[in-house]
Amino acid sequence: MSTANPLLDYADLPPFAAIQAEQITPAVEAVLAAAREVVSQLTADTTPATWQDFVLPLTDATEKIGKVWGPVGHLHAVVNTPALREAYNANLPKISEFYSELGQNLALFEKYKALAASPEFAQLPPAQQTIIQHELRDFRLSGAELPEADKPRFTEIQLRLAELSSTFSQNVLDATDDFALYIDDVNELAGVPEDSLAMFAAAAQADSKTGYKITLQFPFYFPIAQYADNRALREQLYRAYSTRASEFGKPEWDNAPLIREILQLRAEEARMLGFANYAELSLVSKMAQNPAEVVSFLRDLAQRAKPFAVQDRQQLEAFAQQELGLESLQAWDIAYASEKLRVARYAFSEQEVKQYFPEPKVLAGLFGVVKTLYGVDVVPSDSQTWHPDVRFFDVQREGERIGQFWFDLYARPQKRGGAWMDDARGRRLTAEGVQTPVAYMVCNFTAPIGDKPALFTHDEVITLFHEFGHGLHHLLTQVDELSVSGINGVEWDAVELPSQFMENFCWEWDVLQGMTAHVDSGEPLPRALFDKMLAAKNFQSGMMTVRQIEFSLFDMLLHSAFDPEQGDWEALLAEVRQEVAVNIPPIWNRFANSFSHIFAGGYAAGYYSYKWAEVLSADAYSAFEETGGANAETGQRFWQEVLAVGGSRPALDSFTAFRGRAPTIDALLRHAGMADVPPTPVAA
């Protein structure tokens, strides 16, 4: 391999500053060619079906592909320049084709089956046995057992689905970045907080314009939705945001044709593998057993939550009429009226709370919680980055590095919206020793302006803790086999357990005392204000719960009980909303067109996992409540039984080992203020 290409010639961390778009294609082609040569050698009769001779070389070869494609995919998400996008799109089919070939390689499949049937298998450690079992399952799901005549079509479907998912995400990004509204008169922005106005002004100045610039990036859009007194402006922004990537915008960015084709191809893929629908295929590698079980879980939760949601909506409507003069509460009024009601009911605003959460203090508090729970230190470190705002940290235990991560916290153009964690490198034991894990943690918060630090809302603090929970799952693993270390091999509907679990500590007084300092006075969060926040914790929890159920039920029905050829997904979504929702958006709302989680983000027939894992996380956190909150003893048990084991055993076994019993739904209902029902065991 060429030593001139930084993607092929780094021993430790990706050299982001040196990576150029034109280097991607030769690097991808080189590493794929090398991997195909390895596969050819491993499928030869002379290669014995043993862990050492067969599994390890294949793991090495695919990890090398990840070392090239991982940084490329990450840059595509956070620095989406035209040149990088072109290179990414050109090489995505090559990557997809290789893994499709791999999944259908009968010679490899036979080697795995031979290893599973050999005397060696019983002598292997449990983690290695799990990997082999996962591989056998995945070969079947990849079409290895299909008739040879069907395999080309199956491969064609995989390549096209990868292309469609990438295009779907890019269309949402392009439609988001394309919108810009310039306002000269500050009176049109009455009600919007000063720090948001400063951000709007800085954005306009960056375009060499006066006044204020508003975009559809979330830190711009949401302050308008939540605070702007100008109802027409709220409606304008809501309409633009909720019709992104639809027929109401540029035709080339309309995701509706992509949705149709994605659903058709997924259904065809499922039929080829012998499943009745795509949801059945999706659930093979998840905790839930079948679509009916998931739908039953969601509808049961909806039945419990909807009375609270109806009450939330009625109270909001009454307040909007009596106090705000809004006779008809529209979709673009909900966030605005909710914030006004929150202030009226609890005598504080999110803007007031935000002043107590400057970024440096929040990060110190987050790292302090991790130190308390797990005895590890997070310390600044050095690495090449893809943007000046990005920072790099080491995770150490007793002075020894056990992991590293990047923080990319601020929204900016050419960066995908939302928040996520992704693994840059997994833990594994090599001949040179333990390869420590590395993670990317990405958010889209408001960047600091001037000489003041960034200020986070409490919701953003919760988001930060959530993503760091994912990061800890990856970084604190103690499994030495790459395929099941950290988040690898964990059932999709269990991956949110560690992240949602971490959110709970954002509500502990002892924790908040150490992570708050008013941006001007330096005073910590007052106890009186915390008590108001706590009283408001479950404000509109009914509405928020049924909103998540709405998305989850739509996703599951879309992939299990929907005609992908002729079905109308907007009609299906309307039916779901009539069943479970209390906030019904306008008929022109095109939520599905930007529902990247299920059309571009891996959550297809899996969005329910947020609520499923919330049951697990609430129950897990209740163990800390029983022992006095954040403490090292319970933290060590959670680390050892959940975080440390990664995907080396079923997630339910890990939960049961930690909790001493199966999960129940009552902790979730209690935490959400909906606990007037008896405890109900959760099917696993």
Catalytic residues: 467
Phi-psi region of 485 (alpha: psi -120 to 50; beta: other; left: phi over 0): beta
> Which helix or strand (DSSP H or E) is residue 260 part of?
helix 256-272
Q: What is the DSSP string of 488-524?
A: TT--GGGTTHHHHHHHGGGG-HHHHHTS---TTT-PP
Look at residues 230, 203, 225, 198 and name the one whose alpha carbon lies nearest to residue 214: 203
Residues 6+ positions from 106 with CB-CB distance below 8 Å: 144
Q: What is the DSSP string of 277-335?
A: SHHHHHHTTSSS--HHHHHHHHHHHHHHHHHHHHHHHHHHHHHHHHHH--SS--GGGHH
> Which helix or strand (DSSP H or E) is residue 576 part of?
helix 569-580
Q: How many CB atoms lie within 10 A of CB 681?
A: 11
Look at residues 200, 220, 221, 222 and name the one whose alpha carbon lies nearest to residue 211: 200
Cβ atoms of residues 470 and 421 within 8 Å = yes
Chain centroid to Cα 593, Å, comes to 18
Residues 6+ positions from 669 with CB-CB distance below 8 Å: 304, 675, 677
Look at residues 548, 512, 191 and name the one whose alpha carbon lies nearest to residue 349: 191
Q: How many CB atoms lie within 10 A of CB 463?
A: 21
Six token digits for residue 353: 């709370």
DSSP 387: S
- The phi and psi torsions of 662 (rounded to 5 degrees) equal -75, 155
Sign of the dihedral defined by the CA atoms of residues 277, 281, 286, 288, in that order:
positive
Distance CA 351, CA 346 (A): 13
Residues 6+ positions from 551 with CB-CB distance below 8 Å: 595, 597, 607
What are the angstrom distances between the C-alpha of 469 and each of 14, 211, 341, 366?
23, 40, 31, 10
What are the angstrom distances between the C-alpha of 359 and each of 365, 500, 507, 584?
10, 21, 17, 36
Distance CA 119, CA 113 (A): 12
Residues 6+ positions from 25 with CB-CB distance below 8 Å: 87, 90, 91
- The phi and psi torsions of 288 (rounded to 5 degrees) equal -65, 145
